[in-house]
């Protein structure tokens, strides 16, 4: 995963891409089931079925969805029922709308998970969320924060943003996002 923001046209689009993206990005290193980085298909299926209290999905079906296998009867990728999508969403702790086609929430989920991974990895500390409604931070704001963090990781942001007490983005809260950056609305 690169440190830069995911451009609006580069989000995962298909169900297979979304599941794969979540598997690769939703867990901090060693934070998946059993201490692994990425849970196996069987681990995902077991967790989904346990949460539901019944059999919702089998590992072969999940594999077909994750890999985008084509249904020979329809010539299109296999699709998932709402129960299966709900179970997958609960496993990854994302809004079920993430799996819907062309959903506006996809970009927000992508940026939110990238941001949370930075928090889990210790790249971000001491954030206080004030005035954030039920909808959370906007996709644009999360992308902006991820971009600033990536610049600092790459060493390109150290000169761009003043330090504490100097009145810039990292300073006294003047709201100045730093040179070359527009503040998201």
pLDDT value at residue 123: 78
Provide the domain count of the chain: 1
DSSP assignment letter at 4: S
pLDDT value at residue 22: 93
- Distance separating alpha carbons of residues 53 and 43, to the nearest angstrom: 15
- Distance separating alpha carbons of residues 21 and 106, to the nearest angstrom: 11
User: Tens of pLDDT along 92-144?
Assistant: 999 888 887 766 667 777 878 888 888 778 777 766 666 566 666 677 777 77
pLDDT value at residue 1: 42
76 Cβ neighbours under 8 A, 6+ residues apart: 70
Q: Where residue 56 sits, what CATH number does that domain have?
A: 1.10.260.40
Residue 143 domain-assigned? yes
Distance of CA 143 to the CA centre of its chain: 11
User: Tens of pLDDT along 6-52?
Assistant: 565 678 889 999 999 999 888 776 555 566 678 899 999 999 999 99
Longest dimension (CA), the chain: 65
Residue 21 domain-assigned? yes
Residue 129 domain-assigned? no
pLDDT value at residue 157: 59
* 80, burial (CB in 10 Å: exposed 0-12, middle 13-18, buried 19+): buried
Residue 104 domain-assigned? yes
150 Cβ neighbours under 8 A, 6+ residues apart: 2, 3, 4, 5
Residue 180 domain-assigned? no
Q: Provide the residue range defining the domain that includes 150.
A: 10-122+137-154
User: Tens of pLDDT along 100-113?
Assistant: 776 666 777 787 88
Residue 99 domain-assigned? yes
Contact indicator for 95, 89 with CB cutoff of 8 Å: yes
Residue 141 domain-assigned? yes
Percent of the chain beyond pLDDT 70?
65
Residue 35 domain-assigned? yes
């Amino acid at each position: 995963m690169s440190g830069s923001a995911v451009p609006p046209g580069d989000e995962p689009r298909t169900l297979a891409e979304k599941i794969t993206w979540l598997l690769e990005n939703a867990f901090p290193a060693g934070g998946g089931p059993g201490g692994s980085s990425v849970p196996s298909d069987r681990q995902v299926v077991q967790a989904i079925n346990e949460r539901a209290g019944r059999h919702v999905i089998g590992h072969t079906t999940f594999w077909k969805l994750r890999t985008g296998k084509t249904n020979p009867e329809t010539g299109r990728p296999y699709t998932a029922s709402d129960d299966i999508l709900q179970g997958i969403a609960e496993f990854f702790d994302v809004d079920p709308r993430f799996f819907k086609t062309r959903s506006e929430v996809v970009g927000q989920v992508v940026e939110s998970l990238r941001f949370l991974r930075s928090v889990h990895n210790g790249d971000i500390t001491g954030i206080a969320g004030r005035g954030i409604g039920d909808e959370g931070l906007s996709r644009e704001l999360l992308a902006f924060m991820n971009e600033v963090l990536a610049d600092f990781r790459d060493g390109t942001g150290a000169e761009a943003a003043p330090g504490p007490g100097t009145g810039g983005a990292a300073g006294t809260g003047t709201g100045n996002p730093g040179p070359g950056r527009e503040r998201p609305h």
